[in-house]
A and B are shown apart, each in its own frame.
Chain A
Amino acid sequence: MLDKRYIILAIPLGLICLLLCAAVLLGGTNTLEILACLAAFGVTAGLFWYLLMERRAIDVQVESLKNDYKHQRDKASQSCKESKDLRLAVQLLKRQKRNTEAIIYSIPDVVIVTDTGDRLLMANEPAGEFFDFDVKKIMLKPLEELVEKKELVRLVKNSRTTRVRHVKHELQFGSGDNILTCNCIISCIFDDADQVCGVVTILHDITREKEISQMKNEFVSHVSHELKTPLASITAYAEMLVDGEAADEKTRNEFYSIIQSQAQRLNRLIEDILSISRIESGLIKVNKEPVSTALIVRDAVQMIKSYAAEKDIKVEDQTAVVFDQVNADKDMVSQVVINLLSNAVKYTPNGGKVTVNSEVDESRQVVRVTITDTGVGIPPEEQSYIFDKFYRVKANNKCAKGTGLGLNLVKQIVERVHEGQVFVKSEVGKGSSFGFELPLIVAEKTIEK
């Protein structure tokens, strides 16, 4: 469509041309009129030409603007695409960050991440609980402000400055009775330019593992000691016999008797250790059947009476044969009662008394067997340890010898194998009551339902 300005100029230009042609053709026009027409024609043509050029210039501009627009549009489109890619990348990073945070927060160990200035970037809940800070308010706080343990701060800084990829230390936290031992694992994070950009520190609590390891070492040490003691007697007396140091028959017989008794002691110890080990590892064969505890107690009392008679100790069986059926391994429960009776007689001075009582507790659906003596008693502070392996009351060591395993075996058989409960009450100088409870058969059936 033509610009209207062209149309406006084209009309007079056309008219002037027409007039000029008419004047020339008709011959009635003078030179001045022709010149005036020519001048008018020239001006009009000039204007027309100007407009034409302007239009061309505009067209060029428009073309240029179009190109610019196109270019900008392409650029915008590219930016848009890049922006979209960036958004996707950001979303992906956010998701990865969430996943990483979820992993870190789900780790039960203490995890803290610090930057190149040893300031906190991230810490999980266990870290907050361990060092007593709010994990949401720790961003960029210096590690030394949040962690009291100077040694830990020093180790983190040291690892960062020496660019150690991965190192493990053992650290202790707390004091007195509340010492925690932790494995401290420090790892440097490296960027693409192989520069340290952060440090991850993990604290793994190994207190319990250390305790177990120590208990195992102590157990082995105890077992070694207990086994070597009777063995020392056996080898010493055997050597004395071989070397003819026993001057007469009586002495020789005494030596033989000692060797024999010590060998039996060694055997009992080994049996006890094996029994306990088998029970703890679940390898023991258990033959449970309905048995009456009263009858088991009665048989055990008969067995112990001769030993008690040597010390002039009276053993009284006050159990009544009632419906006290329990689902139990008869031999194991026998061993429990014999161990408890044996201890009662052992730690009761001559002329004392041991009483056995068995009763059914209807309210709790258990059978309770209690063995009470008039013996030396156990100090209150030692009563909670009395069922531990190899534990022997120091003050009572003079009274009698023992492996220190009898009560532990009782506990294992009653609680681990039969899901019962052992108990003790004692007063120094007055005596002790040891006992156990086993669930009645009726109660077991109810539980099964």
Chain B
Amino acid sequence: MENKKVLVADDEVHIVQVVAMKLRNNGFEVITADNGDEAYKLCCEEKPDIIVTDHQMPGLTGIELAEKIRGTPGIENIPVIILTARGFAIDDQQKEKLNIAECLSKPFSPKELLNHVENILQNSTVN
């Protein structure tokens, strides 16, 4: 997946580090943020192809970030993957409304996350 840009947002530095490393090792360009507000700002500036975000973090939560992105022209179609340790499930209606492509529970497998990112970007290209 050359030239595809991923925004990784999480207040846990080790999570950001491991996800960023996995994606970079597989050809992605990665930008990172450690809180929801910074993540939104980077979205507006960098316009990533996909966002991988934690749900529970300072500033905007993952869901709030997805909601805000949907309401911002120019970045409203960026797919979002939410990582959460809370174990909550978003219903399909809300997922579709907020264009949340996937909701993964922590602990997660970096390999599986990579597969999800690749599949989602593949489907976005096809569409």
Contacts and interface: CB of A to CB of B under 8 A. Distances in A.
Interface of A: 221, 224-226, 228-229, 231-237, 239-240, 243, 245, 258, 262, 394, 397-398
B4 to A, nearest CB: 19
Interface in B80-102: 83, 85-87
Q: Which size class do B's interface residues fall under?
A: 20 to 34
B107 interface: yes
Contacts, number: 66
A262 B15 CA distance: 11
A203 B11 CA distance: 46
B119 interface: no
Contact of B22 (A226, A232, A240, A394): A240
B34 A236 contact: no
Nearest to B83: A232
A258 B13 CA distance: 11
B35 A258 contact: no
A226 B18 CA distance: 19
B107 A231 contact: yes
A243 B108 contact: no
B21 interface: yes
Given A240-B110, A398-B35, A225 B86 contact: yes
Contacts of B11: 397-398
B71 interface: no
A221 B11 CA distance: 18
User: Nearest 9 CB-CB pairs, A to B?
Assistant: A228-B85, A232-B106, A232-B107, A235-B107, A233-B14, A225-B85, A236-B18, A228-B106, A397-B58
A232 B58 contact: no
B12 A243 contact: no
B25 interface: yes
Given A394-B58, A397-B58, A398-B34, A236 B15 contact: yes
B106 A231 contact: yes
A239 B86 contact: no
Contacts of A236: 14-15, 18-19, 107-110
A258 B12 CA distance: 12
A235 B28 CA distance: 22
A225 B56 contact: yes
A37 B111 CA distance: 158
Contacts of A243: 111
B42 to A, nearest CB: 16
24 contacts: A221-B86, A224-B86, A226-B85, A229-B12, A229-B106, A231-B106, A232-B12, A232-B85, A232-B106, A232-B108, A233-B14, A235-B108, A235-B109, A236-B107, A236-B108, A237-B14, A240-B18, A240-B22, A245-B25, A245-B110, A258-B14, A262-B14, A398-B34, A398-B35
